[in-house]
Amino acid sequence: MDSSFQIGNIWGIPIKLHWTFVVGIFWVAIAFGIIPPITFLGKTYGFGSVEPASIKWIYSFAFATLLFICVAVHELGHSYVARHYNIGIRSITLYLFGGVSAMEEIPRNPRLEFRMAVVGPLVSGLLGAVSVLIYIESAMLLGTEHPLSILLWTLAIVNIILMVFNLLPAFPMDGGRVLRAWFATRMPYVIATRRAAGIGKMFAILMVVLGIFSLNVLLLLIAFFIYIGASEEERATTVDVCLEGVKVKNIMSSEVHTVTPDTSLKDLLDLMFREKHRGYPVVENGSLQGIVTLTDVQKVPDQQRDLTTVGQIMNKNLYVISPDEEASSAVKMMAERGIRRIPVTENNNLVGIVSREDLVRAMELCSARDFTPSISAPGTLPESKI
Give phi and psi for 6, each to the nearest 5. Answer: -80, 135
Burial of 360 (0-12, 13-18, 19+ CB in 10 A): exposed
Task: Tell me how crowded residue 197 is: count the other CB atoms within 10 A of its CB.
Answer: 26
Q: Which residues contact 323 (CB under 8 A, 6 or more apart)?
A: 247, 248, 249, 252, 344, 346, 351, 352
CB 287 within 8 Å of CB 348:
yes
Q: Print burial letters for 280-306: b (CB count within 10 Å at least 16), e (below 16).
A: bbbbeeeebbbbbbeebbeeeeeeebe
Task: Based on the residue annotation, tell me whether 75 is a catalytic residue of this protein.
Answer: yes
**Among the options 51, 75, 255, 284, which is catalytic?**
75
Single out the residue of 383, 116, 362 nearest to residue 240, CA to CA.
362
Q: Which residues contact 204 (CB under 8 A, 6 or more apart)?
A: 170, 223, 224, 226, 227, 230
Could you list the active site residues? 75
